[in-house]
Amino acid sequence: MLVLGWEAAVAAGLLREAFFPRPSTVLVHARRLIADGTLLGHAGPTLVRIAWAFSLAAGLGVTVGLAMGLWRRLREGLDPVFAVVYPIPSILFLPLVSFVVPRGEAALVLTTAVTSFFLIAFTTTEGVRQIDPLVVEAARHYGARGRRLFTAVLLPGALPYIFTGLRLGLGYALIVVVAVEIVNASRGLGALLWLSWQVLKVEDMYATFFVIAALGAVLSYGLAALRTHLLPWAQDVADR
């Protein structure tokens, strides 16, 4: 409906074609971008960066989060540090990261991972802490300790929270990767979007935007579907 209205409005001259190209024109451009490989060539690096950043953030975040949930001392020590660093928008870490690692892929990936890491660590800690102490006590009573207690009680108990953290973290990684690519990359969807703006290729800009939007939808709803499939007993924590 909206798309048809848009098409009609442009055709009738209500919207300026230079700024609001017809959806059909955008589609034609998108087809051409896909056919000559431009779109894929830019989507590839973005996907690889998200994959790396997300794996890094998830691996470290869940580990640190579990440790913080289990050991009070660690939690008390790291909490204030995390509380200060977490609200800093990820993109500001780009200069810092670029001092530590060589500019290029590694800097982009690390910057993208920062905020996702904190989100995942926070929710994981919360997930361990909200486990009913009675359950843990009962498990101990039945002789579960050490590794067994961890895999049979603590991890499954925290899993719904961990999953919420992963979902939020993935969403954040996409936001940051686009921002970072706008600033500091020659390839990637963010870079393509910004480049198309700078040379005023409006149709390419729309086409890129729709790919980014689709990517966001696929990542977010894909992960939600995966959670319902894997953890059917637990509601998404952020939905409460």
The CB-of-117 to another protein minimum distance in angstroms stands at 14
Binding characters for another protein, 162-181, by CB under 8 A (x = yes): ------x--x--xx--xx--
Residues 148 and 87: their CA atoms lie apart, in Å, by: 36
Q: Please state the closest distance from residue 141 (CB atom) to another protein, in A.
A: 28
In the list 47, 60, 67, 78, the residue contacting another protein (rule: CB under 8 A) is 78
Q: What separation in angstroms does the CA of 182 have from each of 68, 84, 91, 167?
A: 35, 26, 11, 23
Indicate which single residue of 29, 54, 69, 90 sits in contact with another protein (rule: CB under 8 A).
90
Binding mask 200-229 for another protein (x = CB under 8 A): x-x--x---x--xx--xx-xxx--------
106 lines the binding site for another protein (CB under 8 A): no
Is 67 a binding residue for another protein by CB under 8 A? The answer is no
What are the φ and ψ backbone dihedral angles of 12, each rounded to 5 degrees? -85, 0
- The DSSP string of 84-99 is HHTTS-GGGHHHHHHH
Give 28-51 as a 3 state SS string: HHHHHHHHCCHHHHHHHHHHHHHH
Window 23-62: contact mask with another protein (x via CB under 8 A): ----------------------------------------
Neighbouring CB atoms inside 10 A of 204's CB total 23
